[in-house]
Structure 1
Amino acid sequence: MIAKIPSSGKGLSQRTGSCAGLVAYLEKEVQGQWFSLDREDVPAAEVTQALDRNKRNLNRDADKYYQVILAPSQAELRHIDSDPEKLKAYTRAAMEEYAANFGKGIEGKDLVYFAKVEHERTTGPQDRAVQVGDVKRGQAKEGEQTHIHVLVSRTENLARYTERKQAGELDRKNPYHLSPLTNHKNTERGVVTGGFERKQYSERVEQAFDQAFSYKRPLVETFRYAHTMQHGTPEQCAALRAQAMQEQQQRQAVQQAAQQLATEQRQQLITPASAERTVQPEQQQSKPEQPRIPEHRRSRGIGM
C-alpha cells in the first residue's frame, strides 16, 4: 500500500487558488462518480464548489487544498477482488487516520474531502523503466492499476465547526488549518501544535487495510521494510533482509504442510470408493449360479 501526499504535479501548482483544474484533470477517465464521507456520485462541479468555499482566514498565497493518493498493490487488490465498495470503505478509513494524525482530536467528519477511484496509470519520469529508456513516458502500465485520488480542504469543515461553536462544544476562536506538508511533528509548544507525521500516516493506512480485510502482509510488503531499504543503515537493511528470509521460509513450510494435509485427505476420500469397486467383482464371482432348466421342461412345466 502506497499513501502519497504529493507537493507538486498535475493541478497541484494551483493549490493557492481554486481546485477546479485538478478536479477537471481527474475527470479524464470517467465523469463524476466522486464520493465523500457520507455521499456517493457527487458531480465534479459540486466538488469544486464545496472545496473552494471551505476556507477562512487564509492568505492569498496559502495552500487551500491537498491531494492524497492511495495506491494498493496488485496483491492487495487481488485480496479484495478490486471491489469498488471495499475501496471506498477503505478510503474513508484512511481519511479517519488522516484526521487523527494531526493530533488535534478531530475526526473524518471534521474534514471536507472528495475522492475518486481510477483504474489506469501511465508511466512518468520517476519510473525506472522510463529512466533507462525501456518504455516511453505516458505509456499505460500493465496489470491491475486501481488507485484512489482524494482532494481535501486545508480548512476543517466550516459548517461543522460553526455548528459545534454555537452549541458551546468549542472554545477556540478559529477553525483549524490542516497541512499534511508541514514540517511539524507532534509538537507541543509554540505557535503550531500537533503537526503531521507522514511516515506514521503511511504505516497507519497500511494497518487499516490489513485490519479491515484480514490481510496477512509479508514483511517485504510493509512500509517499514521499504523505508528501511531506502533510508536505513547497512546493518539495519541486513537485519531486516534476514528477518524477511526467515518469514518466507516459515510461510513456505506452512504452505507445504497444508498441501500435504490436503493430499492425504484426498487419498482418504478416494480409497474407500476404490475398495468398494474392487470388492464388487469378487462378490459377483462368489455368488452361486442358478441351475438351468431344460428347454422341454420349461415349456411343459416342471411338475408334468
Structure 2
Amino acid sequence: MYITITPQKLGANYSQSAADYVDYLEKENQIPGIEERDQELFFNQEEDEISPEEVVKEIDANTAKLEKNEPKFYSITVNPSQYELKKLQNSSEALKQYTRAIMKDYASSFNREINSRPINVNDIKYFAKIEHHRAFKGTDFQVKENQPYASKILQLKNEVRKIEHGELEGDIKAIELQILKLEREAPHQQNGQRIVQGMLKDGNQNHIHIIISRKDISNSHSLSPGSKYKSSEVLMNGKLVKRGFNRDDFFQKAEKTFDKQFQYQRNFVETYRARKDFVKSPKTYFSAIMGLPASEKALAIKILRETGIPLPPVIPLSKAQLSVKLIKTIQKSILTASRSASIGI
C-alpha cells in the first residue's frame, strides 16, 4: 500500500476553485466510447453517485476565512499493490468500503478536538473517486532510462522527414532499420512496445483519489493533514490546546484496516514500517529479511523483484553482501520509485 497526502498545488498561487482538479479526476469518464454504466462517480462517507459539479460546489463553498495563499483542499491517493488488488478481486465496491474505513482512520489521526470531543469522520468533508488506469509518467524510471533511445529515434525520424522534403540526402530504408533496432533495444518494454510517457500500464491499476476540504464540514475549523505538528499540546490564552496530525499513525492504521477488513496476510516488505526503516537503516532492513522464516523470506524477495524497482541482480541475503555501495544503489532506486508512485510494495 502506497499512500500520499498532498496539498492543493496549482501554480504559484492557490486556485480559488477545485474545478481544475475535479476535471482532472474525470479524465477516465471522458475516454471516447466509454459507456455511462462503466463510468465511476464520486462518493463520500454516506452517498454514492455524486456528480463532479456537486463536488466542486461543496469544496469551493467550504473555505471560510482561508487566505489566498492557503490551500483550499488536500488530496490523498491510495495505491494498493498488485498483491492487495488481487485480494480485492478487482472489486470497486471493496475499494469504496476500504476508502470509507480509512477515512475514519484519517479523522482519528488528528490530535485535535471540536467542541471538546475528538475529531471523527463526520467532521470531514471529502469526496473520493476510483480510477482503473494509470499511465507512465516522465518521472518513472522506465521512461527516464528509455529517454536516450527516444531522443535518438526522434533525431532519426527528423532526418527521414528532411530526406522526404529534399532538404537532406540519405537512405530512408537504412534509417528506418536503425529506428526499428533502437525501438527493440530500449531497456523497458511492454507488450513488445518501448515504454513512453503517457502509455497505459498493464495489469490491474485500480487506485483511489480523495479530495478533502481544508475546513471541517461546518466550515468553522481548519483541519490540515500537512500540519508540521505531529501530536502536541500548546498553551493558548491560558488554555491547553491540542494540535497536529500524525501521518505515521494514519499510514499504519490504513494498513491494519486493510489487513483486518480483507483478511490479508502482509509480508514484512509490504509494511509501511519496514519501508520507513529501510530509509533510515538499510542494513537493519535487510538483516530483518534474512531473519524471516524461509517461506516468508522467499516471498519477500519475490515481492521485491516484482515491484518494478530497478534492483541490482543480487539482493543481499548474507551480511557479506551488505556492502555500502549495494545498499546505496537499492536505496536510491526505491526512493525514486516511491516518489513517482510506481512502487508496488
TM-score normalised to the size of structure 2? 0.63
Structure 1 partner of 2:16: 17
SS of the residue corresponding to residue 5 of structure 1 reads strand
The whole-number CA distance in structure 2 between the counterparts of 1:206 and 1:34 is 23
Which structure 2 residue ranges, 5 or more long, are not aligned? 30-38, 113-117, 147-187, 189-194, 301-345
Is 1:219 the counterpart of 2:264? The answer is no
| In structure 2, C-alpha distance between the alignment counterparts of 1:146 and 1:251, rounded to whole Å | 23
- Alignment partner of 2:232: what SS? coil
Paired AA for residue 286 in structure 2: A
Q: Are the aligned partners of 2:40 and 2:130 in contact in 1 as well (CA < 8 Å)?
A: no
Matching residue within 64, 84, 106 for 1:76: 84
Q: Which residue of 1 aligns with 2:107?
A: 99
Letter in 1 for 2:253: R
Indicate the RMSD between aligned Cα atoms, in angstroms.
2.4
Q: Is the contact made by 1:32 and 1:44 (CA closer than 8 Å) also made in structure 2?
A: no
1:197 Cα deviation from its structure 2 partner: 2.1
TM-score normalised by the chain length of structure 1:
0.71
Where does structure 1 differ by over 3 angstroms across 4 or more consecutive aligned residues? 11-16, 190-193, 243-247, 249-252
In structure 1, C-alpha distance between the alignment counterparts of 2:257 and 2:11, rounded to whole Å: 27
Q: Determine whether 1:120 maps to 2:133.
A: yes
Size of the alignment, in residue pairs? 235
Q: Distance in 1 between matches of 2:40 and 2:11?
A: 20
Higher strand share: 2
Hey, what does 1:186 align to over in structure 2? 231
Give 1:200 shift: 2.3
Partner of 2:324: none
- Sequence identity of aligned pairs in percent? 32
Structure 2 Cα separation of the partners of residues 155 and 8 of structure 1: 13
* TM-aligned CA distance change 1:12 to 1:43, over 3 Å: farther
How many angstroms apart in 2 are the aligned matches of 1:208 and 1:227? 19
Q: By how many angstroms is 1:56 displaced?
A: 1.6
Would the aligned equivalents of 2:111 and 2:232 in 1 still touch at CA under 8 Å?
Answer: no
* Structure-1 residue corresponding to 2:4: 4
1:152 and 1:238, CA in 2 relative to 1: closer, same or farther beyond 3 A?
same
Shift of 1:184: 1.0
Alignment partner of 2:59: what SS?
Answer: helix
Aligned to 2:287: 239
Higher mean alpha-carbon deviation, 142-151 vs 99-108, is at 99-108
Whole-Å separation in 1 of the counterparts to 2:299 and 2:75: 37
Residue in structure 2 matched with residue 261 of structure 1 by the alignment = none
| Residues 142 and 13 (structure 1), Cα distance of their counterparts in 2 relative to 1, 3 Å cut | farther
CA-to-aligned-CA distance 1:67-110 (integer Å, 9 cap, x gap): 11111111111111121111101001111111111122111111
How far off is 1:142 after superposition? 1.1
